[in-house]
Amino acid sequence: MRRDFDPVEAERLLKGKKITAVKRRAKYIVIECDTSVGMLSHLGMTGSFRVEKAQLPYGKYDRAAVCLDKGEELRYADVRRFGYIYPITLPGQGLWPEELAGLGQEPLEKGFNAAYLLSRAQQRKTPVKIFIMDQAVVVGVGNIYANEALFAAKIDPRRAAGDLTAAEWKALAAEIRKTLRKSIRAGGSSIRNYRTVDGSEGAFQRSLNVYGKKAEPCPACGTKIETIRQGGRSTFFCPQCQCGKKVMKIRKTT
């Protein structure tokens, strides 16, 4: 999927074309030009777009520029280079490019529900956290949101996906939606040097319950948050709230 921006290919495909639509699917951005060609972009962790006068000097992290009319350029900047933009051909109006085939449900749209998750998780031994981060299952649930949603749903991230009950999937689906909506409202999470289009930090980071909170007290019960690695990613969870561990209470009898 990832590919470097090729200016020659971009000019060959896009010269003289008009941008007719800008769409999103999962975390991908599709810029449609006259329906048959366009550009595919993913911001990765640190990518951003801006439109400015072509005579302005490029920034240190500018990776691609596309000439627009009125002396302006669409410029793509990306510090970490995890993101990209490149020209593609499109299958036609209203159709997604083949590069995006195989993506799972949009978490904020119909179709993402307990029944869907339950059926997709059948027999799967994959830990539930990895499962909900699987693009082929549901898109847009990154590491932060997977951690937070599992905490909110009180589910152990290590459990096999196939073992979750319908009631648990219902709770988890609801918490994934709530977590994403809340974050979108807050303008994102601003991990490290990420910024929104206007350069401000997202405020969601301030409402994180477990992500990045290693050894800090759980906001619900005070137990120390634990961290493990799953699929090369950090997982944070409350061993009390999410694992059903009972704290032994000793009481005096007379």
CB nearer to DNA: give 34 or 116. 116
CB nearer to DNA: give 93 or 206. 206
Answer yes or no whether residue 190 interacts with DNA by CB under 7 A: no
Give residues 44-83 in contact with DNA (rule: CB under 7 A).
44-45, 60, 79-82
- To which H or E segment does residue 172 belong? helix 166-186
Tokens of 183: 């974050």
Answer yes or no whether residue 153 interacts with DNA by CB under 7 A: no
CB nearer to DNA: give 17 or 97. 97
Q: How far is the CB of 113 from DNA (least distance, A)?
A: 20
Answer yes or no whether residue 211 interacts with DNA by CB under 7 A: yes
Taking alpha carbons only, the member of 106, 131, 102 closest to residue 118 is 131
- Figure out which of the listed residues 142, 187, 202, 219 binds DNA, where binding follows CB under 7 A: 142
Q: How many helices (H) and strands (E) does the chain have?
A: 5, 9
CB nearer to DNA: give 3 or 71. 3
Which residues is 24 bridged to in the sheet? 29
CB nearer to DNA: give 13 or 194. 194
Give residues 16-35 in contact with DNA (rule: CB under 7 A).
26-28
CB nearer to DNA: give 101 or 247. 101
Answer yes or no whether residue 186 interacts with DNA by CB under 7 A: no
- Figure out which of the listed residues 232, 247, 249, 250 binds DNA, where binding follows CB under 7 A: 232
What DSSP string runs through 22-67?
Answer: EEEETTEEEEEETTTEEEEEE-TTTEEEEEEETTSPPPTTEEEEEE
Give residues 79-108 in contact with DNA (rule: CB under 7 A).
79-82
Tokens of 59: 């920034």
Answer yes or no whether residue 181 interacts with DNA by CB under 7 A: no
- Figure out which of the listed residues 126, 174, 201, 239 binds DNA, where binding follows CB under 7 A: 126
Answer yes or no whether residue 237 interacts with DNA by CB under 7 A: no
Taking alpha carbons only, the member of 117, 141, 145 closest to residue 236 is 145
Q: How far is the CB of 160 from DNA (least distance, A)?
A: 7
Instruction: Report in angstroms the alpha-carbon separations of 53 from 62, 75, 76, 229.
Output: 14, 10, 14, 45
Q: Coil, strand, or helix at residue 89?
A: strand
CA atoms within 13 A on the CB side of 235: 24
Angle between helices 114-121 and 166-186 (to 10 degrees): 120
Residues in contact with DNA by CB under 7 A are 1-2, 26-28, 42, 44-45, 60, 79-82, 124-127, 130, 135, 139-140, 142-144, 191-193, 211-212, 231-234
